[in-house]
A and B are shown apart, each in its own frame.
Chain A
Amino acid sequence: MSRSPRASGYFRTSYDQDLALVQTRLERTSLGVFIAALLAFPLIASPFQLDLACQVFLASIGALSLMLLTGYAGQISLGHAGLLAAGAFTVGILFRETNAPFWITLPAAAAVGGLLGIIFGLPSLRLRGLYLAVSTLALHFVVIYLGGEYEARRGFSTGIVVDPPKLGGVSITDARAWYFILLGAAAATLLVCLNLLRARTGRAWRALRTRETVAEALGIGVASYKLLAFVISSAVTAVAGALFAYYRGFVSVEAFSLFLTIQYLAMVIIGGMGSLLGALLGAIFVTLFPYIIEIGLLALPGAQRHASLLFAVNYAAFGLVMILFLMFEPLGLVGMWRRMQNYFLLWPFKHRRAGGSRG
């Protein structure tokens, strides 16, 4: 996605080339191989691995939308779990009350998300930084309370059961079908984000993040673009929540604790601020992290004794990893990836030529 000249001597000679998302042949082939691998994955994967992949896709959608808001538009939000909950509860409530099919509930979830986005975003017109973080945190608790209240009032005290969506009279329960649906959803989200970011909207957001006053002087409607960032991000998040509800077949407020928000923030941080690739890497890392810890813990001697501690070890290790990234690698996984790339690009030299083109 970098618009800078390439190190290899590849020059764009037409506007079509300049606009293309995939540019060189190497990029095309590697992308093709990657897509083929993704499509072939369910043929060889075990059900457990399929489930992991689906979780990664769901997390990627949420992480991408948070990256738009925090990484690009520069608005801090601690209400991400609340928005996911809103999407999931829209599905649950519509399904329970009206038995609505998925092609009604998903747009409805997006609409609810967008609406909440306006509510979450309104404080941002007046507040910045820490205060915005706190107000979104407060809204998170309000959404969760409303969800819990619905559960309590309607007698679904443990949660709402949602049947799998029906497509042409057949309900989708097959894990492989879900894999492709979620893969499609994640890919679509990525494409939407990519295109949003290289268009006027994305440039306006980046200007907003860098310096609001200057952005306003440049003729960018600060208020409307801020709200737009919240609305788009929240709508996408709510759809992710809705998909989560269908995928799990179950909605409960317990699933949307503050810890979920922190996990999504961690994806953005660990992945690397201001990079879509970072959001994807972060989503993979954070989703797989507890399973890695589990494998590591079970490999230790006396595994059964440790099993009950798993939850606590997870928390502690997660906090530790987050601290380490914040302190020693603020650019996240993407920063590491770029450094590695540079290392090979520049080899055998160690440093870039001063004033030369960016690698």
Chain B
Amino acid sequence: MQLIVNITVLAAIYALLACGYVLIYRVSRVMNMAHGELAMLGAYLLYTTASLFTDHPVGAIAAALVLSLTVGVLVYVALMRKMTGQMVLAAILTTIAIGILLRGVIVLIWSAAQQHPLQALKFSNPSIELIGGARISTCAALMVLATVAVYTALFVFLRFGRWGMRLRAAGQNPLLAAQRGINLNAIYALAWALSTLTGSIAGMLIALDSGLDQTMVVIGLKAFAPALVGGLDSLLGALVGAVIVASAEVLAIHYVDPLLSDVVPFLVLIAALIVRPWGLFGTREELDRV
């Protein structure tokens, strides 16, 4: 029972991070290697706002969310906009460079020591007993709820929203979309903003649950596996991929070797690439984008 709970929580983390990769890839065919760092930045922003508004935890969270949205837009407008239409390698390398830059800046501002936004928000994190004797911490439960909420919202937005439709159109065929009067720059900025927002939500919840330091970058990289296993342009795929990768990881840790935890997602990733490079639910595209 505890295993299932662990898998669910880890899958929620992965799914929440993976949908950021999917959003950006689906719209602009860029793989955002700085996603882990952006998620970490979101968590640190929450830490700062929590220390600023000590009496209003809700206000602090809202402010942090708005800030992370702004960060996403800024990253696109200031940096990635110049990379549209360039080689894929150049775009990937730019995101890597953004990641390194962010890592340095974060340490400069907040220092490398572990921080605890939970205490700054004056929340407590009691564990809840579920049926079957399994335990789950409140923040982890929140994580699962947040994942469900984010995915539902994204689904409704992409399916029925006006801007969601534009987003899908831009992903399908940018040229046609532009000719139909869709502002591609705004669409790309929106995708970056949403991706950073969901990533930051994941980062904040991880930080609330288990403290905040530089290791979050690794989680961000590992979350790339579910996105690719499920198919880089499919949100449903990201969800399924997250469950697959999380179960593989939790089972490997439990039955084989705890040291495996950093490798298993990548092993699953390699297996997926060998069998079905375009992912479980992804559209089979011509893999020629260099």
Distance, CA A224 to CA B289, complexed state (A): 21
Query: Are A129 and B259 within 8 A (Cβ)?
Result: no
The one of B98, B270, B287, B289 in contact with A138, judged by C-beta atoms closer than 8 angstroms, is B270
Distance, CA A138 to CA B98, complexed state (A): 21
Distance, CA A309 to CA B108, complexed state (A): 7
Which A residue sits closest to B97, measured CB to CB?
Answer: A322
The one of B94, B103, B270 in contact with A323, judged by C-beta atoms closer than 8 angstroms, is B94
Contact with B along A283-306 (1 / 0, CB 8 A): 000000000000000000000000
Query: Are A316 and B105 within 8 A (Cβ)?
Result: yes
Residue numbers in B under 8 Å from A50 (CB-CB): none
Residue A277 is within 8 A (CB to CB) of chain B in the complex: no
Query: Are A142 and B101 within 8 A (Cβ)?
Result: no
Which B residue sits closest to A312, measured CB to CB?
Answer: B107
Query: Are B263 and A141 within 8 A (Cβ)?
Result: yes
Residue numbers in B under 8 Å from A309 (CB-CB): 107-108
Query: Are B262 and A128 within 8 A (Cβ)?
Result: no
The one of B100, B103, B104, B262 in contact with A141, judged by C-beta atoms closer than 8 angstroms, is B262
Residue numbers in A under 8 Å from B98 (CB-CB): 319, 323
Residue B5 is within 8 A (CB to CB) of chain A in the complex: no
Known: A315-B107, A318-B104. A323 touches B277 (CB 8 A): no
Contact with B along A110-129 (1 / 0, CB 8 A): 00000000000001001111
Residue B131 is within 8 A (CB to CB) of chain A in the complex: no
Distance, CA A152 to CA B112, complexed state (A): 26
Query: Are B90 and A326 within 8 A (Cβ)?
Result: yes
Residue numbers in A under 8 Å from B273 (CB-CB): 123, 127, 131, 134-135, 138
Residue numbers in A under 8 Å from B253 (CB-CB): none
Residue A342 is within 8 A (CB to CB) of chain B in the complex: no
Residue A330 is within 8 A (CB to CB) of chain B in the complex: yes
Residue B46 is within 8 A (CB to CB) of chain A in the complex: no
Residue numbers in A under 8 Å from B31 (CB-CB): 130, 133-134
Distance, CA A269 to CA B100, complexed state (A): 15
Residue A145 is within 8 A (CB to CB) of chain B in the complex: yes
Distance, CA A332 to CA B290, complexed state (A): 19
Closest CB in chain B relative to A214 CB, distance in Å: 13
Number of B residues with CB within 8 Å of any CB on chain A? 43
Known: A126-B277, A323-B97. A135 touches B104 (CB 8 A): no
Which A residue sits closest to B103, measured CB to CB?
Answer: A315
Distance, CA A129 to CA B25, complexed state (A): 14
Query: Are B100 and A326 within 8 A (Cβ)?
Result: no
The one of A149, A313, A330 in contact with B90, judged by C-beta atoms closer than 8 angstroms, is A330
Query: Are A138 and B96 within 8 A (Cβ)?
Result: no
Query: Are A326 and B277 within 8 A (Cβ)?
Result: no
Query: Are A322 and B107 within 8 A (Cβ)?
Result: no
Closest CB in chain A relative to B289 CB, distance in Å: 4
The one of B96, B108, B262, B287 in contact with A313, judged by C-beta atoms closer than 8 angstroms, is B108
Residue numbers in A under 8 Å from B288 (CB-CB): 128-129, 212
Distance, CA A322 to CA B33, complexed state (A): 14
Known: A135-B270, A316-B108. A129 touches B101 (CB 8 A): no
Closest CB in chain A relative to B34 CB, distance in Å: 9
Listed A/B pairs (15) with beta-carbon separation below 8 Å: A76-B89, A129-B88, A130-B92, A131-B273, A131-B287, A133-B31, A134-B228, A137-B266, A138-B267, A313-B104, A313-B108, A316-B103, A318-B104, A319-B102, A323-B98
Known: A133-B89, A145-B260, A312-B103. 10 other contacts (CB 8 A): A126-B277, A129-B288, A134-B273, A142-B263, A152-B259, A309-B108, A312-B112, A315-B100, A318-B100, A327-B94
